[in-house]
Structure 1
Amino acid sequence: MPQSRRGAGPVPVNRLYPLTVFFAADGVLFASWVVRVPEIKNQVDASATALGLALLCMTFSSAVSMYFAGGLCERFGTRRLLVASFPAVCACLVLPAFARTVVELGGILLLFGAIYGVLLVALNSAAVEVETATGRAIMSPLHGLWSVGGLIGAVIGGLLAAHLGTFAHLGLISVAGLAVTAGFAAPMLRAGTANAVAKAGAHEGKPADGRRTPVGMAVVLLGVVALCTAYGEGAVGDWGALHLREELGAAAGVASYGFGVYSVAIAAGRLTGGKLIMRLGETTVLTGGAVLAAVGILVTAWAGSLPLAFVGLLAVGLGLANMFPVAIAKAGAIGGSRGVGLASTIGNTGMLAGPPIIGFLTDQIGLPAALSTVALLALVAGGLGLLLRARAAGPAGRPEVRPEPADVP
Structure 2
Amino acid sequence: MRAGIAAVLGVFALNGIVFGSWAPRVPALAAQIGAAEGTLGLSLLGASTGMIAAALLSGSLCARYGARIMVLITAIAGCAVLPVLGMTQSPLQLGLVLVVLGVAVGGLDVAMNVAAVTAIRQSGRAMMPVFHAGFSIGGLLGALGAATAVAFELSPLRHLSIVAVAGAVITVSFSRWIPVEQLRPEAENIGPKRSLVKRPVLWLLGFIALCSSVAEGASVDWSAFFGVHQRGIGEAAAALVYAGFSISMAVARLLGERIERRWGAQRMLIGGATLGAAGLFIAVLVPVPAFTYIGFALAGMGLAYGFPVALELAGAVGRREDGGGGERELGFVTTIAYSGFLLGPPLVGGIASVTNLAVALGITGVIALAIAPLALLAARARRREQQTSQQAVQALHTR
Using structure 1 for the length normalisation, give the TM-score.
Answer: 0.88
Instruction: Measure, in 1, the Cα distance between the counterparts of 2:171 and 2:278.
Output: 42
Match of 1:30 among 19, 22, 25: 19
- Report the residue type matching 1:54 in the other structure: S
- Report the residue type matching 2:361 in the other structure: L
Match of 1:243 among 220, 226, 231: 226
Could you say what secondary structure the match of 1:341 adopts? helix
Shift of 1:395: 8.2
Shift of 1:264: 0.6
Name the stretch that deviates more: 103-112 or 314-323. 103-112
Aligned position for 1:226? 209
Instruction: Measure, in 2, the Cα distance between the counterparts of 1:264 and 1:88.
Output: 29
Structure 1 residues 122-147: Cα deviation after superposition (integer angstroms, max 9, x where no partner): 01111111112221111111110111
Name the stretch that deviates more: 13-22 or 299-308. 13-22
Shift of 1:210: 6.5
Q: How many residues align?
A: 376
Q: How does 1:284-363 map to 2 (within 5 A)?
A: 284-335=267-318, 336-363=326-353
Match of 1:166 among 146, 156, 172: 156
Structure 1 residues 306-342: Cα deviation after superposition (integer angstroms, max 9, x where no partner): 1122111111110000111001111122231111111
- Report the residue type matching 1:79 in the other structure: R
Structure 1 residues 53-72: Cα deviation after superposition (integer angstroms, max 9, x where no partner): 11101211210111211111
Instruction: Measure, in 2, the Cα distance between the counterparts of 1:25 and 1:113.
Output: 15
1:51–1:384: structure 2 CA closer, same or farther, 3 Å change rule?
same
Are residue 147 (structure 1) and residue 130 (structure 2) matched? Answer: no
Could you say what secondary structure the match of 2:190 adopts? coil
Segments of structure 2 that go 5 or more residues without pairing to the other structure are 319-325, 389-399
Shift of 1:236: 1.2
For the Cα contact (< 8 Å) 1:229–1:381, is it kept in 2?
yes
Are residue 50 (structure 1) and residue 50 (structure 2) matched? Answer: no
Aligned position for 2:243? 260
Q: Aligned residues: percent identity? A: 32
- Report the residue type matching 1:376 in the other structure: V
Instruction: Measure, in 2, the Cα distance between the counterparts of 1:157 and 1:56.
Output: 21
Instruction: Measure, in 2, the Cα distance between the counterparts of 1:213 and 1:82.
Output: 26
Segments of structure 1 that go 5 or more residues without pairing to the other structure are 1-11, 201-205, 399-409
Q: How does 1:3-402 map to 2 (within 5 A)?
A: 12-163=1-152, 164-188=154-178, 191-192=179-180, 195-196=181-182, 199=183, 209=190, 211-212=192-193, 214-215=195-196, 216-335=199-318, 336-394=326-384, 396-397=386-387
Using structure 2 for the length normalisation, give the TM-score.
Answer: 0.90
1:156–1:59: structure 2 CA closer, same or farther, 3 Å change rule?
same
Name the stretch that deviates more: 88-97 or 174-183. 174-183
Q: For the aligned residues, what is the CA RMSD?
A: 1.8
For the Cα contact (< 8 Å) 2:3–2:177, is it kept in 1?
no
Instruction: Measure, in 2, the Cα distance between the counterparts of 1:104 and 1:209.
Output: 46
Shift of 1:240: 1.5
Aligned position for 1:402? none
Structure 1 residues 279-318: Cα deviation after superposition (integer angstroms, max 9, x where no partner): 1100100000001111111110111211122111111110
Instruction: Measure, in 2, the Cα distance between the counterparts of 1:333 and 1:345.
Output: 17
For the Cα contact (< 8 Å) 2:212–2:303, is it kept in 1?
yes
